[in-house]
Amino acid sequence: MKKIFTTKMSFFFVAVILLWIKSYFIYSIEFRLDIKGGIQEFLLFFNPLSSALIFLGLALFAKGKRAGIWIIVIDTIMTILLYANVVYYRVNNDYITLPTLTQTSNFGSLGGSIASLVTWTDILYAVDIIILIALFMWSKRFWSTSRMSFKKPLLVLIAGAIAFSVNLSMAEADRPQLLKRTFDRNYIVKYLGIYNFAVYDAIQNVKTSSQRVLADSDDITEVENYTKNKFAEPNDELFGTAAGKNIIKIHLESFQTFLIDYELHGEEVTPFLNSLVHDQEEDFTYFDNIFHQTEQGKTADAEFLLANSIYGLPQGAAFVTRGNNTYQAFPAILNQELDYTSAVFHGDYKSFWNRDEIYKQFGIDTYFDASYYNMIEENVINYGLKDKPFFEESMPLLESIDQPFYAHLQTLTHHHPYLISEEDATIAPAETGDASVDRYFQTARYLDEALEQFFTDLKEAGMYDDSVIILYGDHYGISQNHNRAMKELLGEEITAFKNAQLQRVPLFIKIPGVDGQGTNHNYGGLIDVMPTLMHLIGINGQDYIQFGTDLFSDEHNQVVPFRNGDVVTPEFSYVSGTYYDTTTGEELEPTEEMEEIKNTAQHELELSDKLLNGDLLRFYQPTEAWEPVDPSIYKYGKEAYDPFESEYEEPFDDVIEYEDYNKEKEETNEN
C-alpha cells in the first residue's frame, strides 16, 4: 500500500486524477455550457484528462524530486488559468482570450467588484494542490533521485495525445468543423475544455498577429486604388432620399430566394413576404438576383458583409479571427457623419460569433442579446428565442433607443435543423422524407408570420412610414447534402450550376416617401447593401473602402464573386472551374473577356483578405474628420443599459432538450 503512494509515477497519477475531477466539477458548476445529449455530457467529463496528462506529463522529464515540484507548479498554473476564467465568467459570461487580456477595459468592470466575485468557498478549488504539496512532502523521501527513463514520460504524453484525438474526433462528429468554423468560445470549452481552449486561442493569436505585424501603410494603397476605381456614382434621384430616417434592417435567417412565391401543397409558403414583392402599395423594391457570398462564418459573414462591404474570410469567421481589427463600419460612419445611434437585437447569447467583441469595433452602441429577452421554455427553440416573442419583445427596446437609429434585428427560428413545435407550424411539412428540408417550409412560414406581426407593431408605433426598412436572407438554408430532396421540390437536377444559382437570397428595401420599383433584376451580392444604403442616407461612399457598389446606381457592377472563388454575372457563371451561360445553364467556352472578369473578381477577394489579415484600415483615414473607433467605450449587457429593469427567469434551465438534434446533425453532417 505504502508503495503505491511513494513513487513519482503514483504521485503524478494522483495529480492527474485530482486535476481532472476538479476541472470537471468546476466546469459543471461555474460555466453555463448548455450541455445537450450524452456525447456532450461525456466530453465535458472526458476533456480535462488529455490536458492533465500532457501538461503535467511534461514535468516527468525533470530530474529526481524536481519532477514533483514541477508537477505542483504546472498544476498551480493550470488552476490559476481555470480560476481566472471562473472569475471572468462570473462578470462577463465569457472566457478570457488573449486580446481581452490586452484590452484592460474588459477588466474595468471587474476592478471594483473583484471582492464580490470571489467567495471564501473558492478556496476549495485549490484543495487538490494542498493535498499534492502534503503528499509530496511526505513521499519525496522515498523517491529515487535519478531521472526516470525517457520512455515513461513519453508514454504518458502519447496517452495524452490519444485521449485528445479521441476527444477532438468525437467533438467534431457532434459539431462539424468545430475548430475551423470558430463558432463560439462556449462550444470549444464545452467540447475541449478550458486548457485546450487557451492553447487554441494562443495559436490563433500568434497566426493573426504575425500577419498584422508584417503589414504596413503602403499596403492599403493598392486596396484603396481598387475600390476607388470600382466606385459607382450615386443615383441622383435616390441619393439622400432617406436622410435622417431610422434604419430598420431585418436579417432573415437561412432564407433563400427560391422560397419567394414557392407553393407547397398548393399554398404559398411566405404569403406576407410575397405581398411585399407584389403589392405596389407596400413600396418595397425587391431584388431577385442577390447572392449571399458567405462562407464558414455563415450568419457572421453576412453581418460582416452588410456592416462593412468587406468580404468574410475563406476560412473561419472574420468575426472571430479578426474581431479586434480596426473597422470603419456603417454604424460608426452613421454616428460620426450624422449622429445616428445603433443597436443589434438577437435572441442568442452575446458571445456567439464573438459578437460582443467585434460589435465594439463596429461602433454599435447597444447589443440586446438573449439576456434582454424572456428565454423561458415556451419561447425558446433550437439556437434561441423564437421569432415571434423576439419581435414582440424587441418593440419596446426599439422604442427605448435614441433616434435616428440604425437597428439590426436578427431572426433565428428559421435555422437548421428547422425545429418547430406543433402549435407554431401552420403549414404541413414537405414530404421528401428529408426531415430538415421538409420542415424548412414550416419555419419559413413561421418567420413570415412573425414579420407580419412586427410590421403591424411598427405601424402602430408610428415607426413604419418613417424608416428605411431592409430585409435580407443571410445564406443558404439547404445545402448540397440535400440535393435529392431539393430535386424533388424544384423538379430539376441540382447540378453544380443550379446549386450556384440557388445561392440567391432575397433583398427588400423600402425608402420612406419613395415609390417602390417592384422587382429589380440587377445582379449583386450582400457586399452591395452597405454602399446602397449609404447613398440613400446621403453619405457619399467614395471616401470609404468598400468592395461593393450601390445597387441603384447606373454604374453598379453586376459581377458577383462568391467567397469560394466562383463568379456569377448576368451573362455567365463560373462554377468550380467551368463557365456556363447564366440564362440557359449551358456550358460555355470562355472568351478572354470572361476570363478577365473572373480574374478581377478573384483579385477583389484577395484584396479583401489582404485588408483583413493586415488589419489595414488602421492605416486609412477616410475623411479629415474621421475618428478611429474606440472599442473601450462600448459596454454591453444589462449592467450597461437596461431600459426596463425587467427580471427574467434564469435562462437555460427551461430550454427544451432536443434528443434528435444531434442525431439529425450527424445524418446531414452539416446544414
Count Cα atoms within 13 angstroms, Cβ side, for 571. 12
Sheet holding 567-568, edge to edge: 560-561, 567-568, 572-575, 578-581, 587-588
Cβ nearer to ligand GP9, comparing 55 with 383: 383
Least distance from C-beta 385 to ligand GP9, angstroms? 10
Contact between 345 and ligand GP9 by CB under 6 A: the answer reads no
Amino acid at 143: W
Cα→Cα distances 208→150, 158, 295, 321, 632, Å: 36, 29, 19, 7, 21
Cβ nearer to ligand GP9, comparing 348 with 543: 348
Least distance from C-beta 505 to Mn ion, angstroms? 10
Is 76 a known ligand-binding residue? no
Pairwise CA distance, residues 230 & 104, whole Å: 40
Cβ nearer to ligand GP9, comparing 264 with 344: 344
Grid coordinates belonging to 645: 429593469
CB 367 within 8 A of CB 359: yes
Cβ nearer to Mn ion, comparing 449 with 474: 474
Cell 512532502, located at residue: 137
Locate all alpha helices (DSSP H) within 255-315, ordered by sequence.
271-278, 298-308
Least distance from C-beta 96 to ligand GP9, angstroms? 21
Contact between 368 and ligand GP9 by CB under 6 A: the answer reads no
352 binds, among Mn ion, ligand GP9, none (CB under 5 to 8 A by kind): ligand GP9
Total binding residues for ligand GP9 by CB under 6 A?
Answer: 8
Contact between 383 and ligand GP9 by CB under 6 A: the answer reads yes
Instruction: Classify residue 377 by burial, with Cβ atoms within 10 Å: 0-12, 13-18, 19+.
Output: exposed
Is 299 a known ligand-binding residue? yes
348 binds, among Mn ion, ligand GP9, none (CB under 5 to 8 A by kind): ligand GP9
Is 253 a known ligand-binding residue? yes
Is 452 a known ligand-binding residue? no
Count Cα atoms within 13 angstroms, Cβ side, for 477. 29
Handedness of CA 98, 104, 105, 109 (dihedral sign): positive
Contact between 352 and ligand GP9 by CB under 6 A: the answer reads yes
CB 463 within 8 A of CB 455: no
Cβ nearer to ligand GP9, comparing 175 with 445: 175
Least distance from C-beta 412 to ligand GP9, angstroms? 6
Mind telling me the catalytic residues?
A: 299
579 binds, among ligand GP9, Mn ion, none (CB under 5 to 8 A by kind): none
Grid coordinates belonging to 605: 477577394
Least distance from C-beta 348 to ligand GP9, angstroms? 4
Give me the helix-helix angle, 592-613 and 219-230, nearest 10°: 130
Contact between 482 and ligand GP9 by CB under 6 A: the answer reads no
Amino acid at 46: F
Cβ nearer to Mn ion, comparing 190 with 346: 346
Cβ nearer to ligand GP9, comparing 23 with 299: 299
Pairwise CA distance, residues 638 & 108, whole Å: 16
Binding mask 275-314 for Mn ion (x = CB under 5 A): -----------------------xx---------------
Binding to Mn ion in span 235-254, by CB under 5 A = 253
Binding mask 386-415 for ligand GP9 (x = CB under 6 A): --------------------------x--x
With a CB cutoff of 8 Å and minimum separation 6, the contacts of 233 are: 553, 554, 555
Minimal CB distance residue for ligand GP9:
298
Cβ nearer to ligand GP9, comparing 333 with 412: 412
Binding mask 566-605 for Mn ion (x = CB under 5 A): ----------------------------------------
Positions of E strands within 310-450: 341-346, 366-368, 380-381, 384-385, 405-410
Contact between 11 and ligand GP9 by CB under 6 A: the answer reads no
Give me the helix-helix angle, 127-139 and 8-30, nearest 10°: 170
Least distance from C-beta 574 to ligand GP9, angstroms? 26
CB 301 within 8 A of CB 503: no
Pairwise CA distance, residues 44 & 50, whole Å: 12
Pairwise CA distance, residues 41 & 45, whole Å: 7
CB 182 within 8 A of CB 320: yes
Minimal CB distance residue for Mn ion:
299
- Residue environment code for 321-360, b if the CB has 16+ CB neighbours within 10 A, otherwise e: bbbbbebbbbbbbbbbbeebbbbbbbbbbbbbbbbbbbbb
Contact between 523 and ligand GP9 by CB under 6 A: the answer reads no
Pairwise CA distance, residues 625 & 335, whole Å: 12
Least distance from C-beta 117 to ligand GP9, angstroms? 27
Contact between 350 and ligand GP9 by CB under 6 A: the answer reads no
Pairwise CA distance, residues 623 & 539, whole Å: 12
Cβ nearer to ligand GP9, comparing 340 with 345: 345
Contact between 351 and Mn ion by CB under 5 A: the answer reads no
383 binds, among ligand GP9, Mn ion, none (CB under 5 to 8 A by kind): ligand GP9
Grid coordinates belonging to 269: 409558403
Contact between 418 and ligand GP9 by CB under 6 A: the answer reads no
* 492: helix, strand or coil: coil
Cα→Cα distances 333→18, 362, 534, 626, 634, Å: 53, 9, 9, 9, 16
Pairwise CA distance, residues 436 & 670, whole Å: 11
Binding mask 462-501 for Mn ion (x = CB under 5 A): ------------x---------------------------
Binding to ligand GP9 in span 266-305, by CB under 6 A = 298-300
Give the binding site for ligand GP9 (CB under 6 A).
Answer: 298-300, 348, 352, 383, 412, 415
Give the binding site for Mn ion (CB under 5 A).
Answer: 253, 298-299, 474
Binding site members for Mn(2+): 253, 299, 474-475
Binding site members: 253, 299, 415, 474-475
Binding site members for substrate: 415
